[in-house]
Amino acid sequence: MNPFNPQHGAFHFRQLMVVLALMLSLASFNAQAEDLSDSTIRAFIATMQDAQALQGKYEDTEGWPDPAGDGVTSMPDMTRIFSDGVEKMEGTPAFNEFENVVEKHGFDSLEAWASVGDRVFGAMMAIEMKGQDPGARQEMAEAMAEIENNPNMSAQQKAQMRAMMGAAMGMTKMADNVPAADIEAVKPHLKALEASMNTSED
């Protein structure tokens, strides 16, 4: 199981995207000055694989990223999933050891590696979103109408679902903000990236 795995548990990547569509807060990806190269993406994949070796050592310690730990009430900013994880690790032994791993693969720092990870995952999300059924937005709108008219849900529950659905219906806008160059750079590596982000519990 990968410690920086955005798809915690036994979900495959495509299943995860359905869950994310109900959870993500809308944010924009900023354009990056430097293009993602094949070598950089391959190095990122290699570090994801090496990170698995650190999980058994650090996963139950303070600061180790736990995708299931925050709960549904804390919607993660998936545009910074790697950067946020690294920030939580700062000051821990895991941070220093993992920084050695990413530097071995040519990254200047753990923060630089995380920035690449954010862009790579953003491009993966954009590819997934653009491949979805065009009718998905209508289906979500219909589902929201059913929720609003459900007499068995409290006002608080409806407000939570409204926020989640609102974020989901804005996902296509977020995908549109991912640089086209990042998407094209990630496409040839998509299967390898999905494999590196899969858990070993499938």
The pLDDT tens digits of the residues spanning 134-165 come to 666 677 778 888 888 899 889 888 888 887 77
Which sign does the torsion angle of CA 79, 83, 87, 88 carry? Answer: positive
Select from 136, 51, 30 the least CA-distant residue to 95.
51
Residue 6 carries which DSSP code?
Answer: S
Q: What is the pLDDT of residue 199?
A: 46
The residue behind tokens 């954009």 is 126
| Stated pTM of the model | 0.67
Q: Copy the structure tokens of residue 126.
A: 């954009």
Question: What's the N-to-C CA distance of the chain in angstroms?
Answer: 9
Per-residue model confidence as pLDDT tens digits over 100-139: 999 999 999 999 999 999 999 889 988 887 776 666 667 7
CA 175/CA 3 separation, integer angstroms? 25
Torsion (CA) 82, 83, 85, 86 in degrees, nearest 10: 120
- Which is more confident, 173 or 93? 93
* Neighbour-count burial of 74, counting CB atoms closer than 10 A to its CB (0-12 exposed, 13-18 middle, 19+ buried): exposed
Summarised one tens digit per residue, pLDDT across range 29-73 is 333 446 899 999 999 999 998 888 787 777 777 667 665 454 444
